[in-house]
Amino acid sequence: MGLKNLADEYSKLMGRNPEGTYLYTPQKFEAFHPGSLGYFDENGTWNMITDLCLPERTQTDGFKDMSHPLKWEKPETAAWRTRSSDGETEQSLDANAEISGALSSAPVDVGGKAKTKRGSTMKAELVTGSVVKHERLKAPFNSIIQSWIKNNAKELVQGIHGVDVRKYGVWAIRAVYVTPECAITMDSGKNSEISLGATVGATGIGKLGTEGSTLAKFKNAGWTTYSEEESEQGYVVAFSGSKFALRPFSALRSNPLHQIISLPGEHGIKTRPLLDEDGNVVGSERVRIILDEAGHPIGEEKIDEEAERKAQEEKFEKDQEEAERQELEDYNYNEFDIECDPLGTSEQDLEEEKQAEKLAKEAEIADFKKHWEEIKLIPDEKEREMKLGYYKAAFGKYVEQMRDQINSHPDEAKRGEQMATFKEDVKARMEIMLQ
């Protein structure tokens, strides 16, 4: 199983925990923190594009400024002990000498080796340091980030990360859980047992086994470990944020890159019989005729159709990436369909976002009304009618573009939801213009 598949499986297994999306490969806080903007590639590797909390960084990276600065909440700390993919586990303890947890400042009550027995389901386990810090940004978040993404969409898809941004989308990180050191394991054998990361007592976090209490013991037992010496600011083990998919309008209507992968042509290929020792035909195989420089047949080679298909697929992927790069260079994209998917966000955060977006929309409508009424008060009739006409034309273009954008959305449910919100917005603006 590749690293990307492992990361996805681990995230699904740990999804029962409420903190957000869990990372199979904990990220260093220095490059993965609230305000970080980037993407996970096909290997599950995090690639940071810019830091939305640092205006000087976004400017240096070639992006426009935020319309509103992101604000930090006061950090919170907690003692996690362990996080597991199972709610209830069957444990067997080999009690021996009492040990202390190197990842905890307090000793454990029960020493020994704890195992989780289960059937065919996979099992994941995380052991953290004595303290886990929760760092997060205040609401509104999604609306501010979405506005920034819209204003910088062209720079994102035409920049050095452009092809990957279109392929993987971008993550804007809102909240993270950070610990100075941690250990992670995941197992998938049927009817197997895996050792738990800790024997948890009432007072703290224990260690794997009875041989000692250092982080190295986890490593020796097959766990993946991350020590505080390797990261000055700790490791992010779980996070929440918003993932954005950017699609240029032209890509919504057609896909000029769509091709059918096929094997090389039939020219110079023939089918020859396969004979047994007695000369009986027992099958056939396809071969390609080998020609010399003069075009005369000099031999035959068996065709490995699977290998050729794989080579064609690889060539197609490379050609597609190159075509996308060329398309980005040749086409001046100005309008994008931007889809936002808040992941790992708590119900409280979603409600805060909803209220913040409602207030922002009310402020936007109020601003529209203010400008409209200011224009109506212009004493010069010719100037007044000219500006009113300009506003009406701009509004008509806005309605047309938004309708096309919403109708092109592939998800029927989201399309209906967006259209209902859009109709409310249009109704509010029309009422102002008809007053």
Q: Give the span between the Cα atoms of 223 and 233, in whole angstroms.
A: 22
Neighbours of 393 (CB within 10 A): 10
Residue 91 has pLDDT above 80, yes or no: no
Instruction: Please write the tens of the pLDDT for every residue from 43-66.
Output: 888 999 999 999 999 999 999 998
Name 249's Cβ contacts closer than 8 Å, sequence gap at least 6: 333, 335, 336, 337, 404, 405, 408
**What single letter denotes the amino acid at residue 420?**
A
Q: Tell me the mean pLDDT in the region 356-372.
A: 83
Q: Tell me the mean pLDDT in the region 78-88.
A: 75
Full-prediction pTM beyond 0.75?
no
Percentage of the chain beyond pLDDT 90 is: 18
Mean pLDDT, the chain, whole residue set? 74
Residue 133, both tokens: 């810090």
Residue 211 has pLDDT above 80, yes or no: no
Burial 176-211 (b: 16+ CB within 10 A, else e): bbbbbbbbbbbeeeeeeebbbbbbbbeebbbbbbbe
35 torsion bin: left (phi>0), alpha (psi -120 to 50), beta (else): left
Residue 219 burial (CB < 10 Å; 0-12/13-18/19+)? middle
Residue 176, both tokens: 């993270």
More reliable by pLDDT, 391 or 225: 225
More reliable by pLDDT, 267 or 20: 20
Residue 284 has pLDDT above 50, yes or no: yes
Instruction: Please write the tens of the pLDDT for every residue from 301-324.
Output: 877 777 777 777 777 777 766 666
Q: Measure the CA angle with vertex 113, ends 110 and 116; round to 5°.
A: 110
DSSP structural state of residue 180: S
Residue 93 has pLDDT above 60, yes or no: no
Contact between 20 and 345 under an 8 Å Cβ cutoff? The reply is yes
More reliable by pLDDT, 44 or 295: 44
DSSP structural state of residue 265: P
Residue 165, both tokens: 């941004």
Instruction: Please write the tens of the pLDDT for every residue from 111-151.
Output: 333 333 343 467 899 998 878 999 999 888 888 898 899 88
At residue 26 the predicted structure's pLDDT band, cuts being 50, 70 and 90, is very high
Which residues are 246's β-sheet partners? 338
Bridging pattern class, strands 170-179 and 235-248: antiparallel
DSSP structural state of residue 117: E
Cα 112 from chain centroid (whole Å): 39
What per-residue confidence (pLDDT) applies to 36?
A: 97
H/E stretch holding 173: strand 170-179
Give percent helix, percent strand, percent coil of the chain, each to the nearest 5.
35, 25, 35
Q: Tell me the mean pLDDT in the region 392-416.
A: 81
Which residues are 21's β-sheet partners? 239
What per-residue confidence (pLDDT) applies to 130?
A: 77
What per-residue confidence (pLDDT) applies to 4?
A: 64
Residue 326, both tokens: 């060329």
